[in-house]
Structure 1
Amino acid sequence: MDAYLRRIGASRPERADAAALRDLQLRHLHTVPFENLSIHLGEDIELEEKALLAKIVDAGRGGFCYELNGAFAALLRDLGFTVTLLQARVFGDEGRLGIPYDHLALLVGTADSTGPWLADVGFGDHAHHPLVFDERGDQQDPAGTFRIVEVPESEHGDLDVYRDGEPQFRMERRPRVLDDFRAGAWWHRTSPDSHFTRSVVCSRLSHEGRITLSGRKLVTTGHGERREQPLADDAAVLAAYRDHFGLLLDRLPSAPGRAT
């Protein structure tokens, strides 16, 4: 876990409080990319704590929600936070909900009198800071205005997370374990209906905004501006993975329709 802290540029906090959680989440978003490269490199995705830590800490890689939040949960528990895994379904086109176990989010308890908190380092472009889980009013964040809303028709108290008035995902309150998400992870890495199998993406938060490598296009946003930079060849793409995300790849992920 000390190596994990070095990976995200953090020191071991003296206390597992809200300030430490906020700092850890922000550092994680800045340093560990949201990426689906394993799907397109033919690598297995193992939802087991040791394998997740090996990938993110030892190999210096990123991952998608199950991997990122699964590993982050292990780090937080080691530091003294209480962590519950929650399953969520992501809102897609025309407000349709995705599959069960579509997303993994974290309910985090701290050693102070705050929270509990909804922490998430695995939803891509999302809240920079943890959200107060029991707050039903607007919560201001550098990424926008967030609100957690109770679903009226839900028998079990499901919650919808909104960003700037748009629904992002619907959470259950029932505690889950990492193994529960295996079917969702399998679907996302194998189904032609999953957006993860249809495109290659690597993205992280930057101090100016966000930087994303999608296929052969590098996109940077910041200060209200968006810039797109086409990358000429394989060498340029591999250099972008290295320079912007710290990923040392020996070959490019194979996007659909592109020869390996």
Structure 2
Amino acid sequence: MTPLEDQAPLTEDQTAAYLARIGAERPQAATAEALRDLHLRHLTAVPFENLSIHLGEDIVLTTQALYDKLVQRRRGGFCYELNGGFAALLTSLGYGVELLSARVFMPDGRLGPPYDHMALRVRTADDPGPWLADVGFGRHTHLPLRYADRADQRDPGGVFRITEAPEGDDLDVLQEDSPVFRLEQRPRELGDFEATCWWQRTSPKSHFTRSLTCSRLTGTGERVTLSGDRLLVTAADGARTERRIPEGELADAYREHFGMVLDRLPTRPVSHPE
């Protein structure tokens, strides 16, 4: 399949359905204000989740497959799916969108593999500078960041900064002065992420094969997360409550907190030796 087929545009009907999925009106123009609204609505409507890996479902990185999963099936996904779908929506609304590859910083400071994460560089009709949009990182920014701004940027999700990486022309994205991911500035195609996407969903070394998670930002600024059978609610100030959901109530929890109707529950991951 060619890159053009991978990223075939949404139809008018699909664009309308996607906007309805996130509870948004079609913006009159591709403005920065509209981008901020769409970004926040996507985060509150479409969960970050890796259930497909533990349901034995394939993950297909084409616009049509992502539309089917996120909109028609009302599911979520991880970065390639969420940002890939959001990129298709923004493009259909007249935004200039480029896919960017990033490598996530591990707790020990090492970087993950190439194409470890996908983010978006977005150009609007009313602002000279591009924006860094990212609806696929879980707990992160609520709103897009100014791509060219190297000062602290305050966001409801914390204080973020984009800095020049020590070598090359990459950029480091920091949250509260801690590095989150290293961003390449060269635009990529959706198909470029397929190999690492496959690794993320199959390798015993991948975080996603070792964990089962579904997480969504709420309209009040809280984040609700179902990790296995533990339901965690994190307030905007960082306060957290946690309770265990009985096995027989998990399907109801997915429906109540994430709007997802599952015909079967995902298999709990097992621990893998290093």
Q: TM-score range by the shorter chain?
A: over 0.9
Question: What per-residue deviation string (whole Å, max 9, x for no partner) do you get for residues 9-51 of structure 1?
Answer: 0000001010000000000000000000000000000001100
Give yes or no for the alignment of 1:151 onto 2:165: yes
2:22 corresponds in structure 1 to 8
Q: 2:266 aligns with which of 246, 253, 256?
A: 253
Q: 2:42 aligns with which of 16, 20, 28?
A: 28
Pairing 1:125-164 to 2, within 5 Å after superposition: 125-154=139-168, 157-164=169-176
Q: 1:256, CA displacement in angstroms?
A: 1.8
- Report percent identity of matched pairs: 61
**Equivalent residue pairs, number:** 255
Q: 1:153, CA displacement in angstroms?
A: 1.7
Q: 1:209, CA displacement in angstroms?
A: 1.3
**In structure 2, C-alpha distance between the alignment counterparts of 1:208 and 1:55, rounded to whole Å:** 25
Q: 1:223, CA displacement in angstroms?
A: 4.8
1:110 corresponds in structure 2 to 124
Q: 1:114, CA displacement in angstroms?
A: 4.2
Query: 2:122 aligns to what SS in structure 1?
Result: strand
Q: 1:53, CA displacement in angstroms?
A: 0.3
**In structure 2, C-alpha distance between the alignment counterparts of 1:175 and 1:217, rounded to whole Å:** 38
- Report if the CA contact (8 A) 1:68-1:121 is conserved: yes
Q: 2:31 aligns with which of 14, 17, 20?
A: 17
Residue identity opposite 1:78 in structure 2: S
2:182 corresponds in structure 1 to 170
Residue identity opposite 2:112 in structure 1: G
1:219 corresponds in structure 2 to 232
Query: 1:94 aligns to what SS in structure 2?
Result: coil
TM-score (norm 2): 0.91
Pairing 1:64-143 to 2, within 5 Å after superposition: 64-143=78-157
Query: 1:95 aligns to what SS in structure 2?
Result: coil
Distance 1:223 1:175, change over 3 A: closer
Question: What per-residue deviation string (whole Å, max 9, x for no partner) do you get for residues 65-101 of structure 1?
Answer: 0000000000000000000000000000211000000
**In structure 2, C-alpha distance between the alignment counterparts of 1:105 and 1:208, rounded to whole Å:** 22
- Report if the CA contact (8 A) 1:18-1:114 is conserved: no
- Report if the CA contact (8 A) 1:108-1:119 is conserved: yes
Pairing 1:53-72 to 2, within 5 Å after superposition: 53-72=67-86
Computed over aligned residues only, the root mean square deviation of the Cα atoms, in angstroms, reads 1.0
- Report if the CA contact (8 A) 2:210-2:270 is conserved: no
Query: 1:115 aligns to what SS in structure 2?
Result: coil
TM-score (norm 1): 0.96
Q: 1:179 aligns with which of 191, 211, 215?
A: 191
Q: 1:115, CA displacement in angstroms?
A: 2.7
Distance 1:223 1:137, change over 3 A: closer
Structure 1 unmatched ranges of 5 or more: none
Structure 2 unmatched ranges of 5 or more: 1-14
Query: 1:93 aligns to what SS in structure 2?
Result: coil
**In structure 1, C-alpha distance between the alignment counterparts of 2:147 and 2:176, rounded to whole Å:** 17
**In structure 2, C-alpha distance between the alignment counterparts of 1:16 and 1:229, rounded to whole Å:** 42
Residue identity opposite 2:266 in structure 1: P
Residue identity opposite 1:144 in structure 2: G
Give yes or no for the alignment of 1:188 onto 2:207: no
Q: Which runs of 4+ in 1 moved over 3 A?
A: none
**In structure 2, C-alpha distance between the alignment counterparts of 1:14 and 1:139, rounded to whole Å:** 27
Greater shift, 163-172 or 109-118, is seen at 109-118
